[in-house]
């Protein structure tokens, strides 16, 4: 908005104040405007809304009988004569809204005295211009000022729109407004240092604005003016506080009112983003809970947890639809190196839509778990996830075969095996071929042996069995740390439960060979005993592993290791040292990193994650025993003869 400073300063001023006796005019003078009674001192901070030219009797045009903060350009005769009724005319102009008048230079002495008497500042043209030219230059200056004000407002609104799109807070907006207005602009509330500073002098006004009794207030604060705006609709409000020397002219007050509204919108956007993130985190937690129930084989519990999700949108409603299927598949998608796992999860969610459950794996920060209902032809999971893998080089995926939801944990184990194989697959995605080779080759009477081994669990109470057995099984499959994270218990608890279960079975949880036997017993016990199987004494494990079908299958499985350099010695040493990397590396005379690389390479050939804790070492041990590469005495048999 135009003020007298714009008209009287700068390289090309339009107006000037006539010389005042005892105080020459200085355009750069600072400080508040003088009282109206002392018009000899220039009031450059006075703003001007309108500018018009008066007639020879110093009257406003007929079509503008009143003005709002008007500047009246007064004509005079060629000799500088002023009307006889100059004082009356000037007082009439003041009553009509005129805040300053422009006199011809020749009329300045007499006109200045009349203006002083009327209480209105008097100025003169900066050059020898008539009233029309003076008015034209005033209006041109006003147009330039208004254009600049519009640009500043547009910058503020554009910045606010950009911040709103990015869900940023109002900090950048307030800095821009402070730069535009030349004041101090901030959002304050109790507990902030700026609130305490302002409240030291204007506490009552601040509290009234904050509590919503008034929406805005303007009060003096030392040598400046303090303008307050309530921000938002929720009480108590945050308060927009603006301090400026020389007061706040109307156009800046309007800008601050807009700023308060924009700050409220930005605050809402920030709160919305925060609430959305909280909700998203909560939903991810619920999805993890659904997965944990499935990993424990508790389908009913998973359904109960998923029921409230149906009201939160199609994607969450789809979780219940997935669980409604009797069977399904589990996929594990590994993010690309240096990729944020959240992007991988988003890609999976977009791929499966409302037809699957997508969970950030709680056990491995690289993995995203996708649970999908069974597809009759088995091709849908691969078709859905292949584009996800192709989107980003380095992504991998492993997909299990279909299983009932009670065997979700086995599906996850199969997906991890397939993921290991995917590292050597050009497409980066592999579907697991089925059950373990040993399970497929062992005769039905091996299940009798498994039930005999698990008979020791009867020593445990019902509560111990319900809690410890599922955890122990997952610890055997994935290791105690990963199992604990998948099931929502800590590593120590998982280890304690594993120890309790294996001791009841007559095994030592610290030995990899003992864990391999327990793992095999649990997997065999999941298979039904054929009804036509004749009652017989349980066979020994060592005898079962030496039967021809088992030996042949194990030999074929290990044939792929012929591509590697001395794999039997490396694996035998590793297993003999209970899979401890440091002891194995020392025994083989190699660096631990070299050992890890060679184990990873062998695991890729066998499609087993040998670099991770879990069932992979168990399977390698049993394969090597069955193939005769390790003695059968390497595995204990808690149900064997003499036990």
Domain boundary assignment for the chain: 2-143, 166-270, 296-434, 440-634
pLDDT at 22: 34
Radius of gyration of the chain (CA): 43
pLDDT at 643: 54
Q: pTM of the predicted model, to two decimals?
A: 0.60
* Residue closest to 232 by CA, chosen among 265, 274, 275: 265
More confident residue, 614 or 229: 229
Question: What mean pLDDT is reported for the chain?
Answer: 84
Q: Count the neighbouring beta carbons within 10 Å of the beta carbon of residue 512.
A: 21
Q: From CA 445, how far away is CA 447, in angstroms rounded?
A: 5
CATH match for 2-143 among 3.40.50, 3.40.1390, 1.20.58, 3.10.450: 3.40.1390
> Is residue 20's pLDDT more than 50?
no
DSSP line for 220-273: EETTEEEEEEEESSSSSPEEEEEEEET---HHHHHHHHHHHHHHHHHHHHHHHH
- Give per-residue pLDDT as tens, 159-199: 777 777 777 788 888 888 888 888 999 999 998 899 999 99
Cβ pair 517, 453 in contact under 8 A:
yes
- Give per-residue pLDDT as tens, 28-40: 333 333 433 344 3
pLDDT at 423: 87
Q: Where are the beta strands (DSSP E) in 77-134?
A: 98-102, 122-125
Cis amide leading into 354 (omega within 30): no
Q: What is the largest CA-CA distance in the chain?
A: 138
Q: From CA 543, how far away is CA 526, in angstroms rounded?
A: 21
pLDDT at 25: 36
> Quick one: how many helices (H) and strands (E) in the chain?
24, 17
- Give per-residue pLDDT as tens, 349-381: 899 887 888 999 888 899 999 999 887 555 688
Q: Which fold has domain 296-434?
A: Alpha-Beta Plaits (3.30.70)
Sign of the Cα pseudo-torsion (239, 244, 246, 252, in order): negative
pLDDT at 612: 79
CATH class of 166-270: alpha beta
Same fold, 2-143 and 166-270: no
pLDDT at 435: 52
Q: From CA 383, how far away is CA 76, in angstroms rounded?
A: 90
Cβ pair 164, 266 in contact under 8 A:
yes
Residues in Cβ contact with 530 at an 8 Å cutoff, skipping those fewer than 6 apart: 444
Q: What six digits make up the tokens of 3?
A: 């003020």
Cβ pair 318, 283 in contact under 8 A:
no
């Amino acid at each position: 908005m135009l003020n007298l400073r714009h008209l009287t300063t700068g390289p090309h001023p339009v107006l000037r104040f006539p010389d005042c006796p005892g105080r020459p005019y200085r355009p750069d003078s600072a400080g508040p405007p003088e009282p109206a009674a002392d018009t000899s001192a220039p009031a450059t901070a006075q703003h001007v809304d309108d500018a018009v030219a008066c007639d020879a009797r110093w009257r406003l045009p007929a079509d503008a009988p009143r003005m709002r903060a008007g500047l009246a350009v007064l004509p005079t005769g060629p000799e500088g004569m002023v009307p006889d009724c100059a004082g009356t005319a000037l007082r009439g102009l003041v009553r009509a809204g005129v805040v300053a008048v422009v006199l011809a230079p020749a009329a300045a002495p007499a006109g200045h005295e009349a203006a002083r008497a009327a209480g209105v500042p008097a100025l003169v043209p900066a050059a020898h211009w008539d009233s029309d030219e003076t008015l034209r230059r005033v209006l041109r200056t006003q147009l330039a000022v208004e254009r600049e004000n519009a640009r500043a407002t547009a910058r503020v609104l554009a910045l606010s729109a950009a911040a709103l799109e990015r869900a940023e807070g109002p900090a950048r907006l307030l800095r821009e407004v402070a730069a535009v207005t030349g004041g101090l602009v901030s959002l304050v509330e109790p507990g902030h240092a700026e609130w305490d500073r302002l409240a030291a002098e204007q506490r009552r006004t601040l509290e009234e604005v904050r509590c919503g009794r008034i929406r805005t207030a303007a009060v003096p604060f030392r040598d400046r003016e303090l303008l307050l705006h309530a921000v938002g609709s929720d009480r108590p409000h945050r308060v927009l506080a603006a301090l400026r020397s020389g007061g706040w002219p109307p156009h800046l007050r309007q800008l601050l009112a807009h700023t308060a509204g924009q700050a409220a919108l930005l605050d809402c956007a920030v709160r919305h983003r925060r609430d959305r993130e909280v909700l998203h985190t909560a939903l991810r937690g619920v999805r993890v809970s659904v997965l944990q129930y499935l990993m424990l084989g508790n389908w009913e519990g998973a359904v109960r947890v998923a029921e409230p999700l149906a009201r939160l949108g199609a994607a969450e409603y789809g979780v219940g639809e997935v669980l409604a299927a009797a069977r399904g598949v589990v996929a594990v998608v590994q993010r690309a190196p240096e990729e944020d796992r959240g992007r991988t999860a988003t890609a999976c969610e977009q791929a499966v839509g409302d037809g699957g459950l997508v969970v950030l794996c709680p056990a491995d920060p690289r993995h995203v778990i996708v649970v999908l209902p069974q597809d009759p032809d088995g091709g849908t999971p691969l078709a859905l996830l292949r584009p996800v893998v192709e989107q980003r080089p380095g992504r991998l995926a492993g997909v299990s075969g279909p299983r009932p939801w009670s065997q979700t944990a086995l599906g996850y184990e199969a997906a991890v095996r397939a993921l290991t194989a995917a590292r050597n697959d050009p497409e980066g995605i592999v579907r697991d071929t089925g059950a373990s080779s040993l399970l497929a080759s062992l005769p039905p009477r091996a299940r009798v042996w498994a039930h005999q081994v698990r008979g020791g669990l009867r020593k445990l109470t019902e509560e111990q069995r319900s809690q410890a057995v599922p955890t122990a099984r997952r610890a055997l499959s994935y290791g105690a740390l990963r199992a604990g994270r998948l099931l929502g218990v800590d590593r120590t608890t998982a280890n304690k439960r594993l120890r309790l279960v294996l001791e009841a079975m007559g095994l030592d949880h610290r030995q990899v060979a003992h864990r391999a036997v327990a793992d095999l017993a649990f997997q065999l016990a999941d298979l039904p005993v054929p009804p036509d199987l004749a009652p017989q004494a349980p066979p020994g494990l060592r005898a079962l592993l030496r039967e021809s079908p088992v030996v042949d299958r194990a030999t074929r499985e290990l044939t792929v290791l012929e591509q590697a350099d001395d794999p039997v010695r490396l694996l035998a040493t590793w297993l003999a040292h209970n899979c401890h990397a440091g002891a194995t590396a020392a025994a083989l005379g190699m660096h631990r990193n070299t050992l890890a690389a060679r184990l990873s390479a062998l695991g890729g050939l066998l499609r087993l994650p040998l670099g991770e804790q879990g069932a992979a070492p168990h399977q390698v041990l049993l394969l090597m025993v069955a193939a005769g590469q390790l003695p059968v005495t390497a595995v204990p048999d808690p149900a064997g003869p003499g036990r």
